[in-house]
Amino acid sequence: MPRLAARYADELNVPFLPIDEMAAHRELLVRACHDVGRDPADVQFSAKRGVLVGRTTAELRDRASRLRSLASDPRSIDEYLDWLASRWIVGTPDRCTEQLVALERAGVDHLVLQHLMPEDLDMLDVVANRVVTPV
């Protein structure tokens, strides 16, 4: 995919890839761009991630429980949260901010966040007002 993006695209989006693999994928895109004579800055590198945030651990666990029920997932709440955390932005605001900073350091230009409980507008408020990245 990085070779195709380098040749034809304005953006490469990598959905749900673990944070620790992002920098390697960014480097693949950079090398592919150089191979075809294109400036890597001309191809945006983005990520799609689900988001699940709670002001407190208790609020996070409540949201995770509701989401797990919607998905009919049989795992325990702790197993479910661990699974989500491997590919989503998950946690309290400070923990989520740490994840966003890690993505930025890995070379991600922008994110597409997926919210699977659209009736939960309170969580969007938490994301908008409590989860921040450095400017």
| DSSP result, 48-68 | EEEEEE-SSHHHHHHHHHHHH
Mean pLDDT over each residue of the chain, to the nearest integer: 93
Q: How confident is the model at residue 133 (pLDDT cuts 50, 70, 90)?
A: low
Could you tell me the residue range of the domain that residue 7 belongs to?
2-130
| Res 31 pLDDT > 70 | yes
Q: Is residue 106 part of a domain?
A: yes
In a domain, 72, yes or no: yes
72 conformational bin, left if phi > 0, alpha if psi -120 to 50, beta if neither: left
Supply the pTM of this predicted model. Answer: 0.88
Residue 54 lies inside a defined structural domain of this protein = yes
Q: How many alpha carbons fall within 13 Å on the CB side of residue 84?
A: 27
Beta-carbon contacts of residue 21 (< 8 Å; ≥ 6 apart): none
In a domain, 105, yes or no: yes
| Residue 67, domain member (yes or no) | yes
pLDDT one-digit tens code per residue, 65-111: 999 999 999 999 999 999 999 899 999 999 999 999 999 999 999 99
Find the mean pLDDT for residues 14-38.
95
Does a structural domain hold residue 25? yes
Into how many domains does the chain fold? Answer: 1
HEC letters along 85-110: HCCCEEECHHHHHHHHHHHHHCCCCE
Q: Is 9 helix (H, G, I), strand (E, B) or coil?
A: coil
User: How much is the average pLDDT of 2-25?
Assistant: 94
Task: Answer yes or no: is 135 within a domain.
Answer: no
Q: What CATH number is attached to the domain comprising 30?
A: 3.20.20.30
Contact 18, 28 (CB under 8 A): no
